[in-house]
Each structure stands twice: as structure tokens, then as C-alpha cells.
């Protein structure tokens, strides 16, 4: 039996039931939860490309994709079904690693048999129980995600300084409330943030403003 089968079996028998108890659907290695506002939380066990049949290294990724982000993707010509949102689509993303150093790499779980697979999955589940599930629940709502973005937090543990990703997320989360000074600040920040693809940024700003004025007319 390969290491991949050991891991998949442990994920199916141990992680899957725990994820379903939290409202997630799917099967190893990816589970998703769609909120009433069509915000999508994704939990995914990623394996290293250097894994072999006898040894697999893996990490646990969590991410949340707000509905306005999916709307923007559709406007760009890349529609995504909320039930099929891929791991890491963002903008909120974080990663869980072994609570104890792995045998090969400290930041990856090391799986090579049934026992090591079970140990890895139990560690994942403990970390999710200690705050992972509740953390996802806190940002799977429009209010929760906006509060996180206002603090400068898009994952990876600590707040970030204002920059392209934060300005973009803030703009998307504010636009359905209509035009506002805060939205103008976020759009200006995104437009003038140092980086390439000026044309893309201008197109994004124009689209967000259209969405905001549309929301104002519908109120």
C-alpha cells in the first residue's frame, strides 16, 4: 500500500467526518462550506510534489473566497462554481503545519504508513478544533471578512500593511454598500499601489465603481 493511500484513508475515515460535522462537504483532500452569502471556505490537504510512493509530505491549507471576488472573476470571463472553488483561490489564506517537527521537513507532516497517517491527521484535527474551524466561521460572513480586512489580516497569522491584496479585498467587500469615502480610499490605494498591470487595476476600479452605483440605485 502506498503512502498516498495511507493518507487518503486516514483523511476519509478521520478528517472527513469532522469536516462534515462542521458543515463542510467534499472528500479527501478537499472540503468546502458555502455560507448563505455565498462565501466559500475551503479546507485542503496539500501534498508535496517531492513525495514518493513510500513517503508523502503534506500540509493543511484553509482559505475563504467572498462572493464579490467570485463575481469579479465572472466579470473577467472566469466564472467559478462556489461548490468547486479551488484551494488557494483567496483572498484569505492560511496554512497549518505539524505541531511537532516532521522527520524530513519541520513544516510538513511526514506520512509513510497507517500509524504516521493517523498521527498527522489527528494533529490536523486538533489544530482545527483549537481554532481553525472557528476562524473560518469568523470570516465566512460579509461582516466577519470585512472586519478582518480592516485589521489588515488576510491570513498567515498576523496583520499585514496596506497593499494591493488588502486594498483589493476591501474594495470588493465595500462595493455592495454603495459609494463611500472608505471605498474611494480602498480603490485609490489599489490603483496606486506599486506593481505591474496598470490596465488590469484600472479595469477593476471601474467595475467596482459600477457595482457600487448599481447597489445605490437598487436601495
What is residue 160's predicted lDDT score, i.e. its pLDDT? 58
| Joined grid coordinates for residue 3 | 503512502
Confidence label for 1 from pLDDT (cuts 50, 70 and 90): confident
Give tens-digit pLDDT for 83-103.
899 988 878 999 999 998 765
pLDDT surpasses 80 at 72? yes
Give tens-digit pLDDT for 154-198.
988 555 555 788 999 999 999 999 999 999 999 999 998 767 778
Amino acid at each position: 500500500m502506498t503512502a498516498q493511500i495511507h493518507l487518503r484513508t486516514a483523511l476519509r475515515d478521520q478528517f472527513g467526518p469532522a469536516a462534515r460535522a462542521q458543515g463542510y462537504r467534499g472528500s479527501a483532500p478537499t472540503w468546502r462550506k458555502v455560507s448563505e452569502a455565498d462565501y466559500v471556505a475551503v479546507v485542503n490537504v496539500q501534498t508535496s510534489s517531492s513525495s514518493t510512493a513510500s513517503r508523502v509530505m503534506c500540509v493543511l491549507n484553509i482559505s475563504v473566497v467572498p462572493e464579490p471576488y467570485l463575481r469579479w472573476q465572472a466579470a473577467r470571463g472566469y466564472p467559478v462554481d462556489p461548490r468547486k472553488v479551488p484551494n488557494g483561490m483567496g483572498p484569505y489564506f492560511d496554512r497549518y503545519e505539524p505541531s511537532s517537527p516532521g522527520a524530513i521537513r519541520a513544516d510538513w507532516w511526514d506520512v509513510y504508513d497507517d500509524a504516521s497517517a493517523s498521527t498527522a491527521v489527528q494533529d490536523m484535527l486538533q489544530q482545527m478544533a483549537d481554532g481553525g474551524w472557528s476562524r473560518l466561521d469568523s470570516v465566512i460572513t460579509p461582516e466577519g471578512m470585512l472586519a478582518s480586512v480592516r485589521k489588515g489580516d488576510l491570513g498567515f497569522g498576523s496583520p499585514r500593511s496596506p497593499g494591493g491584496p488588502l486594498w483589493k479585498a476591501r474594495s470588493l467587500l465595500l462595493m455592495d454598500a454603495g459609494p463611500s469615502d472608505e471605498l474611494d480610499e480602498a480603490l485609490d490605494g489599489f490603483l496606486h499601489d506599486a506593481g505591474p498591470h496598470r490596465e488590469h487595476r484600472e479595469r477593476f476600479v471601474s467595475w467596482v465603481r459600477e457595482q457600487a452605483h448599481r447597489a445605490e440605485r437598487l436601495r
